[in-house]
Amino acid sequence: MAKRVPVEPDYFRIPDDPDEPPVLRGSYSAAAETYLWPPRKRCPITFQPVDERELSTEGELYSWTFVQMPWLGSQQRDAGGGFGAGQVDLPEGVRIQALLDGAQGDWEIGQRMRLTLRKLGEDDEGNEVCTVAFRAIEEGGAS
């Protein structure tokens, strides 16, 4: 089985268990009492050093859009696809902008979302290079 590797290792980590969601790597500024993502070395508010923190893997959909685009090499919109992009509010007060899993119309403002992985491609060693996305949590907690 191919190893999954993050496209940006400083931004998130991928657990060994494929059933567990990825974990966002963030920062916490004690001086500003604020969580930050992506991680920072200094607080942008106080310029004081920050602590590394892992952020929640679930949040609430604040806003979303669907980006329609033609497939590579085509000028026809109906020949292409698209993708969902959204902003998800985490319990720590951080708003994350990321890809959304699903099809246009699958999402609603206020919907519970869970962090997941999306494969971007493969590296020279055959590893799956991944980024983070959010997917809707179905009623009852299953996703």
Angstrom distance (rounded) from CA 129 to CA 64: 25
How is 51-97 classified by DSSP, letter by letter?
EEEEPPSEEEEEEEEEEEEPPTT---GGG-EEEEEEEEE-TTS-EEE
pLDDT values of the chain reduced to their tens digit, one per residue, 143 residues: 678 999 998 999 999 888 899 999 999 999 999 999 999 999 999 999 999 999 999 999 999 999 887 655 555 555 557 889 999 999 999 999 999 999 888 999 999 999 999 998 899 999 999 999 999 998 655 45
Q: Which domain, by its residues, includes 78?
A: 4-136
pLDDT at 105: 86
The residue with tokens 């985490």 is 90
Residue 49: C-alpha distances to residues 29, 55, 93, 96 (Å): 7, 18, 19, 22
Q: How many domains does the structure of the chain reveal?
A: 1
Indicate the pTM of the whole model.
Answer: 0.84
DSSP string, 23-52: EEEEEEETTTTEEESS--SB-TTT--B-EE
In a domain, 141, yes or no: no
* Burial status of residue 23 (CB atoms within 10 A of its CB: 0-12, 13-18, 19 or more): middle
* Domain-located, residue 143: no
